[in-house]
Amino acid sequence: MSKLGIGLLYFALVGALFAAGFGYLLIQKYETSKGTLATTQQQLTSQKKETVAANKKVDEETQAAQDATTKMTEANSKVDDLNGKLADEQKKEDDLNTKLTAAQTDADTAKKALADINTELGMSPSDIKAALAKAQSDLAAANSQMKIAQDQSQAELKQINDLKDAINRKATASMPGISGKVTFVNRPWNFVVLNVGLANGVVPNGELIVYRGRNFIGKVKVTSAEDNTSVADILPDAKQPIQVGDDVLN
């Protein structure tokens, strides 16, 4: 074998040895990397689990914080309501105290006024009470006497009014023996004109009877009268329509 062949063979052998060594190193590195990868994957899986657990815990803590915030808001609202009610009650108490102070002031003023009156009158409260009772009794007696006087006055007034009515009735009564005729009839206004008047004894407000022959027709009430004529309203108890020429008498 020539030197060139030997050299090439040697070179090839060295290359093969080098390739084998490098391959072995690569295999070792691959195994190492594979183990590292597995470990890393395990660590990553564990980290993911821890992350999920941590997120869950964060969610739970967030929900708990929200619940606590809601409860705190409700509690604050209740506290505000209680503070409002407390303020109202405090105001009522202040108003009552103000009224009580005013009442006490009025009472003190009344006491002072009573003391001044007692000083001026020279009378004790019991004496004043007795005098007041006597005054009330005297007033009741006076009222009773006044009531009796009023009753008597009303009775006398009634008698006077009765006498006046009797006098008026006598004054408005027509004199007996009046006899006349109907000379005019106004049916729309329901009145008649008569041919008798003051000279015949006719007086205002006096009533006359209307006849036709022997038949009763009705009554009329004199509203105005002159010497020889008068005007009278037809009263509603007329049996027949009054006509011109009917007789009137009392």
pLDDT value for 150: 79
Q: How far apart are the first and last CA of the chain?
A: 200
Helix (H, G, I), strand (E, B) or coil at 244: coil
Q: State if pTM tops 0.75.
A: no
**Alpha carbon of 222 to those of 34, 166, 197, 230: distances in Å?**
149, 19, 10, 7
CB atoms within 10 A of CB 181: 13
pLDDT value for 217: 95
pLDDT value for 234: 96
User: How long is the chain?
Assistant: 250
- Tokens 């090839």 belong to 12
Residues of the chain with pLDDT under 50: 167, 170-172
Q: What CATH number should be reported for the domain whose range is 176-249? A: 2.40.10.340
Extents of the domains making up the chain: 14-120, 123-172, 176-249
Q: How far apart are CA 81 and CA 102, in angstroms?
A: 31
Angle between helices 125-172 and 3-121 (to 10 degrees): 80
pLDDT value for 170: 46
pLDDT value for 171: 46
pLDDT value for 220: 97
Beta bridge partners of 7: none
DSSP labels, 109-135: HHHHHHHHHHHHHT--HHHHHHHHHHH
What is the SS3 string spanning 200-239? HCCCCCCEEEEEECCEEEEEEEEEEECCCCEEEEECCCCC
